[in-house]
């Protein structure tokens, strides 16, 4: 008699490589590949391998997280070494530092999971998806948070019925649905299971997919009757040249010429498109940009850094040059980035990191927050809720401004990450925000992915990455609130899941 397959899977020489292979395949579930169907299969297979040796559940989960996040975020090395000039002696270990930290959250999930003594159908089919979602939420929040790679993002494509949960409960509800689908597939595929026990998870899967599809077909927000043309400028400025003094004038000239080439209602430049502090610009520069846009009938928003009102710090801002008055420099409407990138835009541990910044070519690495209650900017007939780059990964923080806006806009500079998948992973986050908030999202980026996204998450138009171009298109203004917006974010869902986990823990039994 040959040993059963489970016997082979319990052996570390087979089980551990399989866990690593599954983790290494996770990037293909996200943009730019959009193989959304892959993530539930990977998650279910991973849980099945963990169940083979539950004694090693925590270490297995840590290994999975480490391999998955390293595969997804390999572009950290591009930013540190290729762009910032950090030698590999430092860049390689620092590339693994973030995945090594992020992997603690899957490990925490399975450490908590082991505390439950319940029947497998409940422990694996209910408790595990709930705990996974809670720890993913914690990962997005703790130490300013990093939510990239949440399994819910793999479903953010109009082709996945699970995307329909985004406007209902945000990305964390999509994560919960994805984890449910993965574990229920595992339960349905089990060997030596009575037909009735197999039928129940199949029914749950059908209900889950039907609910997601129904929500996907439902319009929670509506057009307000306004229409606008937009032009998103992509300068394609090499990051290694961006802040060089001899490149300032050519960069300003390039964007000025691009502004002159479009007559769109709304024109948006990328994050820090003009690589000079606003207050340090010659007085006539902004006036020329504003005049050029006005002559073309355009409202113009420009990404630029600026000193804070007290002059003691600086902000990463998008300024609105609509109605610009040269004699009122302090009255320019603007949005200043509030959720800053740790180690990139501010130094959380300056006594440790300052020596590294002296080695790297990383200007403006200590920004100030712009504040959480900033209004939308009025541009032509649209009220535009801006966010800048990294902020697009935090849907809960965008709700307040979106409620008063008809259009969402993201200004980014992803040139730090070269031609990697980072720009596409970021694009998928914008698709999630458009679905959650029920509005068009427009993205103006330096090198990509510049795009126009519909309220259903469809990419209406996208510029060719790594080219100097202008992406033009049409949008409609939207009004109303999705259920996610009405709940004011994820906290209600997280509260329900926390209470569910607590009750299941209290009433756990040993009949499994």
Q: Which of 123, 242, 389, 476 is catalytic?
A: 389
One of 51, 136, 140, 271 is an active-site residue; which one?
271
Give the position of tokens 């899977």.
Answer: 9
Which of these is catalytic: 337, 345, 391, 476?
A: 337
**369 tagged catalytic:** no
Among 403, 469, 395, 399, CA closest to 432: 395
| CB burial readout 348-371, b (16+ within 10 A) else e | eeeeebeebbeebebeebebbbbe
Instruction: Find where tokens 């998806």 sit.
Output: 129
Tokens of 172: 């964390």
Q: Give the count of beta carbons closer than 10 Å to the beta carbon of residue 346.
A: 16
DSSP label at 288? H
397 is catalytic: no
Compute the distance between CA of residue 256 and CA of residue 275 in angstroms, rounded to an integer: 13
Query: Edge-to-edge strand order for the sheet containing 299-307?
Result: 334-336, 314-320, 299-307, 266-268, 222-234, 469-479
User: In the annotation, is 347 catalytic?
Assistant: no
Per-residue H/E/C for 177-224: HHHHHHHHHHHHCCCCCCHHHHHHHHHHHHHHHHHHHHHHCCCCCEEE
CA 292 to CA 416: how far, in whole Å?
30
**Helix extents (H) in 231-312:** 239-242, 248-260, 283-295
Query: 226 in the Ramachandran plot: left (φ > 0), alpha (ψ -120 to 50) or beta?
Result: beta
Do the Cβ atoms of 75 and 422 come closer than 8 Å?
yes
Note whether 347 and 369 are within 8 A (CB).
no
Whole-angstrom Cα Rg for the chain: 24
Q: How many residues does the chain have?
A: 512
Alpha helices, DSSP H, located in 296-386: 350-359
**Sign of the dihedral through C-alpha 454, 392, 268, 402:** positive
Half-sphere exposure of 238 (CA within 13 A, CB side): 7
Q: How far apart are CA 386 and CA 405, in angstroms?
A: 9
Burial degree of 13 (CB within 10 A; 0-12, 13-18, 19+) = exposed
d(CA 80, CA 95): 8
| Cβ contacts of 48 within 8 Å, gap of 6 or more | 186
Do the Cβ atoms of 301 and 329 come closer than 8 Å?
no
Positions marked active-site: 271, 337, 389
């Amino acid at each position: 008699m040959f040993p059963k397959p489970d016997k082979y899977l319990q052996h570390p020489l087979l089980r551990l490589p399989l866990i690593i292979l599954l983790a290494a395949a996770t990037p293909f579930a996200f943009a730019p590949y959009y193989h959304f169907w892959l993530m539930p299969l990977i998650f279910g297979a991973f849980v099945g391998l963990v169940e083979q040796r539950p004694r090693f559940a925590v270490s297995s989960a840590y290994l999975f997280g480490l391999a998955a996040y390293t595969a997804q975020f390999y572009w950290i090395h591009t930013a540190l070494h290729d762009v910032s000039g950090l030698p590999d002696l430092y860049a390689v270990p620092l590339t693994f530092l973030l995945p090594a930290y992020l992997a603690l959250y899957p490990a925490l999930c399975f450490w908590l999971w082991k505390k439950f003594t319940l029947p497998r159908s409940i422990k694996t089919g209910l408790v595990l998806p709930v705990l996974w979602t809670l720890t993913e939420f914690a990962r997005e929040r703790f130490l300013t948070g990093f939510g990239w790679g949440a399994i819910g993002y793999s479903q953010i494509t109009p082709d996945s019925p699970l995307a329909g949960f985004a406007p209902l409960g945000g990305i964390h509800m999509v994560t919960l649905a994805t984890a449910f689908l993965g574990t229920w597939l595992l339960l349905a595929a089990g060997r030596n299971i009575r037909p009735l026990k197999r039928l129940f998870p199949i029914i749950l899967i059908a209900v889950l997919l039907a609910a997601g599809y129904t929500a996907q077909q439902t319009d929670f927000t509506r057009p307000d009757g306004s229409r606008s043309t937009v032009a998103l400028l992509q300068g394609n400025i090499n990051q290694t040249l961006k802040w060089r003094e001899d490149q300032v004038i050519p960069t300003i000239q390039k964007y000025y010429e691009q502004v002159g080439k479009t007559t769109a209602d709304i024109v948006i430049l990328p994050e820090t498109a003009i690589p000079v502090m606003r207050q340090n610009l010659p007085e006539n520069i902004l006036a020329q940009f504003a005049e050029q846009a006005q002559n073309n009938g355009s409202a113009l928003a420009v990404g630029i850094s600026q000193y804070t009102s007290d002059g003691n710090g600086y902000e990463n801002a998008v300024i609105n040059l609509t109605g610009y008055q040269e004699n009122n420099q302090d009255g320019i409407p603007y949005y200043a980035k509030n959720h800053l990138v740790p180690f990139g835009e501010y130094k959380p541990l300056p006594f440790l990191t300052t020596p590294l910044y002296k080695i790297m070519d990383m200007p403006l690495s200590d920004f100030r927050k712009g504040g959480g209650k900033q209004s939308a900017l009025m541009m032509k007939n649209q009220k535009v809720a801006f966010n800048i780059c990294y902020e697009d990964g935090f849907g809960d923080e965008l709700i307040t401004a979106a409620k008063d806006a008809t259009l969402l806009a993201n200004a980014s500079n992803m040139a730090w990450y070269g031609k990697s998948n980072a720009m596409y992973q970021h694009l998928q986050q914008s698709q999630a925000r458009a679905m959650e908030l029920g509005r068009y999202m427009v993205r103006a980026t330096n090198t990509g992915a510049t795009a126009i996204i519909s309220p259903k998450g469809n990419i209406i138009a996208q510029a060719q990455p790594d080219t100097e171009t202008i992406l033009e298109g049409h949008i409609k203004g939207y009004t109303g609130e999705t259920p996610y917006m009405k709940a004011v974010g994820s906290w209600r869902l997280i509260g329900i899941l926390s209470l569910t986990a607590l009750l299941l823990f209290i009433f756990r039994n040993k009949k499994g």
